[in-house]
Structure 1
Amino acid sequence: MQSNTTSITTIKQEVRLQEWTTQIEAQQASGLTIREWCKENGIKPNTYYNRLRKVREQYIENSPAIVPVSVPCSNENIRIEKNGLQISLPADISAYTLTALVHELC
């Protein structure tokens, strides 16, 4: 019985987070300020910001970790592809710059 309760609670939290994500996306696409959008949708700005924080926290928890990789030394360029975007970088790029770039892409 305890595990069913836990599963239902987890599902409710996921549904709530998805609803909040939809609301946040709607506000961002609306072109309205947060205050204007909240007034139009009957949501207090503090509630909106609280939901935004929780959605961001969930996103951070589920985002992929950066895995260190060793880059072979060669004269060839390094090529990174993600979602149809291709980036070509010089082979002698610094590890710091490469890590920062990968972090921003993920």
Structure 2
Amino acid sequence: MKANQESLQQWQSLIQDQQASGLSIRKWCDQNNIKQCTFFYWKKRLSEKPEKEICFAEISLAKVPTASPVNTDPFEAPVHIRYRDFEVLVGKAATCFQLTEVLEALRKSC
């Protein structure tokens, strides 16, 4: 186990011990030879929400048969993104800015 993970688990246990003791943080820290500022640092760090996990999904483009004429409709969507219960279709005419906005909205919704 990594040293950082061990520290996190150790401090989680210490914070739970303090809460179960019924003592004030000041008294508990004095009895356990722990600086209050260190205790509060770890308590805050462990109470923070972890960053959202980054998720990736395979994106594939449909292959157009060579015998078929190529559709030049600017609203045709050669890129389809499906995630959970929604689907995003990105048209050929999409600008880099528009694609960035779509990806940012997806990032916020994950």
Per the shorter chain, which TM-score range? 0.3 to 0.5
TM-score by length of 1: 0.46
Higher relative contact order (CA 8 A, sep 6+): 1
TM-score (normalised: structure 2): 0.44
Say which structure is richer in helix. 1
Which one has the largest radius of gyration?
2
